[in-house]
């Protein structure tokens, strides 16, 4: 069956302008100014067509915390927000720390046939930071990205050993950099970032710094890039849009939201920040309704990914094209994700149609309703994954 998207403004790394896109057998077959014949024709006049968003940092809670989120509800939230590829973090119960659990989650997530799941197993057993998992076996079976997620890798020797192994396979460690001994200081994040920069420089292995949030970290990232060290990093859209001077439990997140000055520096240094993520962290209403000190960290985010991106563009007068690059082409490049992240002939038809003149529809498919956003610019109209419509906002 052939599907045609016609009359749309396309924004992507390889294709920009007004084109018609022909989809067949799950692939982008033709990008043309002509109008080919098709079984399904989607008139995208007045809409923008972008590659499917790649979000490499999300928590879907299953197994163990299904009252917060399930694979199905998380993946539904993803396509609602324009996300077609999703990195699933291992902070579950039990942790995704062995091949059996990783394969089980992957198979079940794929069966829902929504967003593409990328399972990110933990680096150490039970995410405890004491003993390395059998990462060679996991790599042999196709898993190349590892993270203990909210648990930093405190032990420099374990970090060194794992980097030495992963260097041989071009694998990546995604590290939550935090030294709790320096909580409430500017050093809490950057001390571990500095260590990881040195370890990456020494081993030549790849480290991806999760959700950066401080001025010191930005300076270290800029240094690492100037020295061609294999360091990449991400920022959440929450850290670019929100502050939390009022100590609102809905805005409680780790790392904490920045003050205005630090947020300004994050925005001014976006060119040095490789990708933008949601750090989707759903919680129940009862949990987030506690006093601030007792409420858990985390903001739900998948449902509003594109609207948040559009809001950043409008708030700071940043070209939307630059932001689209950081959630499509850049993550595909960093994580070696073949044939996605771009609108290009021969690539998988992971495509999102959006309307930047409308506002977020207010719907939340995630079980986690812990979103502090009242209104956001931009609306996802249609999400296509692998050539099939997975979310239709026209209905």
The model's pLDDT over 252-290, given as tens digits with 9 standing for 90+, comes to 999 999 999 999 999 999 999 999 999 999 999 999 999
pLDDT for residue 11 is more than 90: yes
pLDDT at position 184, please? 86
Return the SS3 of 13.
coil
pLDDT at position 395, please? 79
Find the catalytic residue in 55, 148, 196, 279.
279
Sign for the CA dihedral angle at 24, 29, 33, 34 comes to: negative
> Model confidence at 232, in pLDDT bands (50, 70, 90)?
very high
> Model confidence at 38, in pLDDT bands (50, 70, 90)?
very high
pLDDT at position 209, please? 98
CA angle 122, 87, 326 (to 5 degrees): 125
Summarize the confidence of residues 238-254 as an average pLDDT: 97
| Per-residue pLDDT tens over the stretch 146-185 | 999 999 999 999 999 999 999 999 999 999 999 999 988 9
Question: How much of the chain, in percent, has pLDDT values that exceed 90?
Answer: 98
pTM: 0.98
- Could you say which of 3.40.50.10860, 3.40.190.10, 2.40.30.10, 3.20.20.140 is the CATH number of the domain covering 52-334? 3.20.20.140
What residue spans in the chain does CATH classification 3.20.20.140 cover? 52-334
Residue count of the chain, please give it: 395
For residue 165, report the phi and psi dihedrals to the nearest 5 degrees: -70, -50
CATH class for domain 2-49+346-392? mainly beta
What residue spans in the chain does CATH classification 2.30.40.10 cover? 2-49+346-392
> Model confidence at 205, in pLDDT bands (50, 70, 90)?
very high
The mean predicted confidence, pLDDT, of the chain is 97
pLDDT at position 84, please? 99
DSSP single-letter state for residue 98: S
> Model confidence at 301, in pLDDT bands (50, 70, 90)?
very high
Return the SS3 of 218.
helix
pLDDT at position 324, please? 98
Query: How many Å apart are CA 145 and CA 122, to the nearest integer?
Result: 9
Summarize the confidence of residues 297-324 as an average pLDDT: 98
279 has catalytic annotation: yes
């Amino acid at each position: 069956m052939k599907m045609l998207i016609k009359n749309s403004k396309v924004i992507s790394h390889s294709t920009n302008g007004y084109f018609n896109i022909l989809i067949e057998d799950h692939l982008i077959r033709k990008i043309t100014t002509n109008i080919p014949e098709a079984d399904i024709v989607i008139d995208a006049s007045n809409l923008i067509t972008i590659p499917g968003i790649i979000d490499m940092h999300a928590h879907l809670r299953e197994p163990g915390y299904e009252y917060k989120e399930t694979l199905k509800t998380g993946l539904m939230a993803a396509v609602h927000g324009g996300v077609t590829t999703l990195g699933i973090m291992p902070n579950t119960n039990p942790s995704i720390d062995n091949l059996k659990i990783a394969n089980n989650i992957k198979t079940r997530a794929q069966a829902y046939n929504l967003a593409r799941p990328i399972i990110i197993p933990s680096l150490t057993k039970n995410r405890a930071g004491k003993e390395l998992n059998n990462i060679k076996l996991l790599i042999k079976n196709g898993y190349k990205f590892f993270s203990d997620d909210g648990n930093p890798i405190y032990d420099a020797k374990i970090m060194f050993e794992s980097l030495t192994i992963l260097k041989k396979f071009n694998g990546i460690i995604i590290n939550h950099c935090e030294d709790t001994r320096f909580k409430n200081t500017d050093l809490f994040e950057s001390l571990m970032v500095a260590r990881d920069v040195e370890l990456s420089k020494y081993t030549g292995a790849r480290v991806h710094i999760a959700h950066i949030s401080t001025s010191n970290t930005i300076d270290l990232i800029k240094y690492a890039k100037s020295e061609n060290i294999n360091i990449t990093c991400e920022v959440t859209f929450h850290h670019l849009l929100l502050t939390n001077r009022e100590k609102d439990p809905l805005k409680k997140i780790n790392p904490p939201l920045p003050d205005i000055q630090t947020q300004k520096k994050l925005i001014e240094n976006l060119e040095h920040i490789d990708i933008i993520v949601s750090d989707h962290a759903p919680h129940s209403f009862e949990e987030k309704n506690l006093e601030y000190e007792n409420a858990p960290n985390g903001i739900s985010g998948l449902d509003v990914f594109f609207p948040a991106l559009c809001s950043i563009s409008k708030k700071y007068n940043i070209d939307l094209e630059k932001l689209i690059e950081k959630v499509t082409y850049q993550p595909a490049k960093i994580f070696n994700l073949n044939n996605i992240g771009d609108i290009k002939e021969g690539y998988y038809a992971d495509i999102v149609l959006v309307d930047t003149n409308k506002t977020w529809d207010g719907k939340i498919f995630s079980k986690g309703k812990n979103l502090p956003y009242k209104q956001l610019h931009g609306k996802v109209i249609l999400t296509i994954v692998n050539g099939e419509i997975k979310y239709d906002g026209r209905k």
